[in-house]
Amino acid sequence: MQAESSKPQVHASLSNVTRVYPGVAGNPPVNALGPINLELRRGEFFAVVGPSGCGKSTLLEVLAGLQPASSGTVMFEGAPVAGEVPEGIGVVFQEDASFPWLTVADNTAFGLRRAGMAESEIRRRVDDVLSFMGLKDFARAYPAQLSGGMRQRVCIARTLVLQPRLILLDEPFGALDAQTRLLMGDEVLRLWRRTGATVLLITHALDEAAMLSDRIGAMSARPGRFLEIVETGWPRDRDSTIVGDPRFGEITGRLWDNLRNESLKALGHAQMAAE
């Protein structure tokens, strides 16, 4: 009984999930994902790494309900995910998804206004999130007046203000420079600790995954499956300074061991991968 109660609670899961894209213009169907299994523990930070085109983003979209699974079961908080994005899931995309016609404050308030929340409560929540994200001084600015990193923070703020319990990040720092990515990583860790939400991060950067995550799933080339799930063992109050920890190098090395052959396969170098 003791062991049962200390077992981490499953927040979301994929069971034998596949995603097959139908063939277009006479081409055969593309098996993009799986079959894949994953149990996301409540409150954990989980990263997914893998070669280009292995189905990382497909996995995220299937989990979010943005794409249907071709087979298998997707569950969030005990209920199946089918057809639409369940309440409680927030998604931040790689592309700049800020609304250029709205100010930073109005971007952030978008979901709350749609939900019909009272304006006073919207202002309170938006102020709080913008302060947390370091955007308070830019509340009246438009996205075009901000840097790429700040625009991505606006998108994160728009997601965060809805207080999601599962945050899905699809390579949100992919378009940013290395230093900004490190700093954004610190911010994501800060918001993860503050919200207590479960976070799933899709990234192609092994160092980013190793720095941010409790667990990292290394995926094979298409159709993506988990080759190994690596536990990092980092304390919860970590930040980007852990890149100097000797274990950081061990983790990235282990991930690369898993991914090198898969990346070669993805690039079409099957013979080199075999050697």
Partner 1 sequence: MSKIAFLRLAVIVIAVGLLEAACRGGLIDHRVVIPPSEMAIALAHILATGEANHQIIRTFGIVIISVAIAVALGFVLGVIVHALPRVRQALDPLFATYYAVPIFIFYPVMIAIFGLSVVPIILIGVLNAIVAMIIATLNGLDRVPRVLTKVGRVHRMGRVSTALRLKLPAAAPHLFTGVKLAVSYGFIAVIASEFIMAPAGLGRVISDAYSDFNNPRMYGLMLLLVIVATVVNMVLHVFDQRWAERRGIART
Is 66 one of the binding residues for partner 1 (CB under 8 A)?
yes
Question: For residue 215, what is the enclosing H or E element?
Answer: strand 215-219
Beta-bridge mates of residue 226: 219
Q: In this structure, are strands 45-49 and 198-202 parallel, antiparallel, or unpaired?
A: parallel
Task: State which residue, 131 or 147, has the beta carbon closest to partner 1.
Answer: 147
Note whether 73 and 80 are within 8 A (CB).
yes
DSSP 9: P
Q: Determine the Cα–Cα distance for residues 136 and 129; give it in Å rounded to an integer.
A: 8
Contact pattern from residue 36 through residue 65 relative to partner 1, giving x for each residue in contact according to CB under 8 A and a dash for the rest: -------------------------x--xx
206 three-state secondary structure: helix
Q: Determine the Cα–Cα distance for residues 48 and 226; give it in Å rounded to an integer.
A: 9
Note whether 21 and 47 are within 8 A (CB).
no
Helix 148-160 and helix 104-114, axial crossing angle in degrees, nearest 10: 20
Query: Which segment (47-55, 142-150, 233-241, 243-251) binds partner 1 by CB under 8 A?
Result: 142-150
Provide the minimum distance between the beta carbon of 126 and partner 1 in the complex, in angstroms, as a whole number: 16
Contact pattern from residue 70 through residue 109 relative to partner 1, giving x for each residue in contact according to CB under 8 A and a dash for the rest: --------------xx-x-xxx-x-xxx-xxx--------
What residues numbered 10-39 form the site for partner 1, per CB under 8 A?
A: none
Provide the minimum distance between the beta carbon of 111 and partner 1 in the complex, in angstroms, as a whole number: 5
Task: State which residue, 104 or 182, has the beta carbon closest to partner 1.
Answer: 104
Pick from 16, 52, 131, 145: which binds partner 1 (CB under 8 A)? 145
Positions in the binding site for partner 1 (CB under 8 A): 61, 64-66, 84-85, 87, 89-91, 93, 95-97, 99-101, 110-111, 114, 142-145
